[in-house]
Amino acid sequence: MKIAVQAQRIVTAQLRNSTLILSDLTGVQFSRDAVTRIKEVAVFDRPYVKRAAIVGPESLPNCLAMKVPPCAKELGACSRARRKS
Protein backbone atom coordinates (compact mmCIF):
# COMPACT_ATOMS: atom_id res chain seq x y z
CA MET A 1 0.00 0.00 0.00
CA LYS A 2 3.04 2.26 0.25
CA ILE A 3 3.09 2.37 -3.55
CA ALA A 4 -0.50 3.67 -3.59
CA VAL A 5 0.50 6.57 -1.33
CA GLN A 6 3.52 7.41 -3.51
CA ALA A 7 1.48 7.13 -6.71
CA GLN A 8 -1.21 9.43 -5.33
CA ARG A 9 1.37 12.03 -4.32
CA ILE A 10 2.98 11.96 -7.79
CA VAL A 11 -0.26 11.95 -9.79
CA THR A 12 -1.95 14.75 -7.86
CA ALA A 13 1.12 16.97 -8.37
CA GLN A 14 0.54 16.88 -12.17
CA LEU A 15 -1.66 19.08 -14.31
CA ARG A 16 -5.30 18.05 -14.51
CA ASN A 17 -6.15 15.56 -17.26
CA SER A 18 -2.49 15.08 -18.17
CA THR A 19 -1.27 11.87 -16.54
CA LEU A 20 -0.94 8.52 -18.29
CA ILE A 21 -0.85 5.55 -15.93
CA LEU A 22 0.22 1.99 -16.68
CA SER A 23 -0.17 -0.41 -13.75
CA ASP A 24 1.58 -3.79 -13.90
CA LEU A 25 -0.31 -6.06 -11.52
CA THR A 26 1.48 -9.27 -12.47
CA GLY A 27 1.37 -11.68 -9.55
CA VAL A 28 -0.44 -9.27 -7.23
CA GLN A 29 -2.64 -10.69 -4.48
CA PHE A 30 -5.45 -8.34 -3.44
CA SER A 31 -6.37 -7.98 0.23
CA ARG A 32 -9.56 -6.23 1.28
CA ASP A 33 -7.50 -3.31 2.65
CA ALA A 34 -5.56 -3.02 -0.61
CA VAL A 35 -8.76 -2.93 -2.68
CA THR A 36 -10.18 -0.23 -0.41
CA ARG A 37 -7.00 1.84 -0.71
CA ILE A 38 -6.86 1.44 -4.51
CA LYS A 39 -10.43 2.72 -4.77
CA GLU A 40 -9.65 5.70 -2.52
CA VAL A 41 -6.57 6.64 -4.54
CA ALA A 42 -8.53 6.33 -7.78
CA VAL A 43 -11.07 8.88 -6.55
CA PHE A 44 -8.38 11.44 -5.74
CA ASP A 45 -6.38 10.74 -8.92
CA ARG A 46 -9.31 10.85 -11.36
CA PRO A 47 -9.11 14.60 -12.21
CA TYR A 48 -5.42 14.28 -13.08
CA VAL A 49 -5.57 11.10 -15.19
CA LYS A 50 -5.96 11.33 -18.95
CA ARG A 51 -5.75 7.55 -19.57
CA ALA A 52 -4.96 4.48 -17.50
CA ALA A 53 -4.32 0.83 -18.31
CA ILE A 54 -3.74 -2.31 -16.30
CA VAL A 55 -1.58 -5.23 -17.42
CA GLY A 56 -0.81 -8.56 -15.87
CA PRO A 57 -3.60 -9.32 -13.41
CA GLU A 58 -4.63 -12.95 -13.51
CA SER A 59 -7.85 -11.90 -11.83
CA LEU A 60 -9.31 -8.70 -10.45
CA PRO A 61 -11.67 -8.52 -7.50
CA ASN A 62 -15.21 -7.91 -8.80
CA CYS A 63 -15.40 -4.46 -7.20
CA LEU A 64 -12.34 -3.37 -9.22
CA ALA A 65 -13.14 -5.22 -12.43
CA MET A 66 -16.36 -3.24 -12.83
CA LYS A 67 -14.40 0.02 -12.72
CA VAL A 68 -11.76 -1.02 -15.28
CA PRO A 69 -12.52 0.12 -18.83
CA PRO A 70 -12.83 -2.74 -21.37
CA CYS A 71 -9.75 -1.57 -23.28
CA ALA A 72 -7.59 -1.99 -20.16
CA LYS A 73 -8.96 -5.49 -19.59
CA GLU A 74 -8.19 -6.37 -23.21
CA LEU A 75 -4.67 -5.02 -22.83
CA GLY A 76 -4.17 -7.34 -19.86
CA ALA A 77 -5.51 -10.30 -21.84
CA CYS A 78 -3.16 -9.50 -24.74
CA SER A 79 -0.24 -9.26 -22.34
CA ARG A 80 -1.03 -12.70 -20.83
CA ALA A 81 -1.41 -14.23 -24.30
CA ARG A 82 2.01 -12.91 -25.34
CA ARG A 83 3.69 -14.33 -22.22
CA LYS A 84 2.18 -17.79 -22.87
CA SER A 85 3.45 -17.96 -26.48
Instruction: Note the pLDDT tens digit of each residue in 14-72.
Output: 999 999 999 888 888 878 888 888 888 888 999 999 998 888 766 666 666 555 555 44
| Boundaries of domain holding 19 | 2-84
Q: How many domains, in total, are found in the chain? A: 1
Mean pLDDT along residues 9-13: 94
Contact 67, 42 (CB under 8 A): yes
Query: For the segment 42-58, what is each residue's pLDDT rounded down to a tens digit?
Result: 889 999 999 988 887 66
Q: Is the pLDDT of residue 5 over 70?
A: yes
Instruction: In whole angstroms, give the CA distance from residue 49 to residue 47.
Output: 6
- Specify the pLDDT at position 65: 59
Instruction: Note whether 68 and 54 are within 8 A (CB).
Output: yes
pLDDT of residue 54: 82
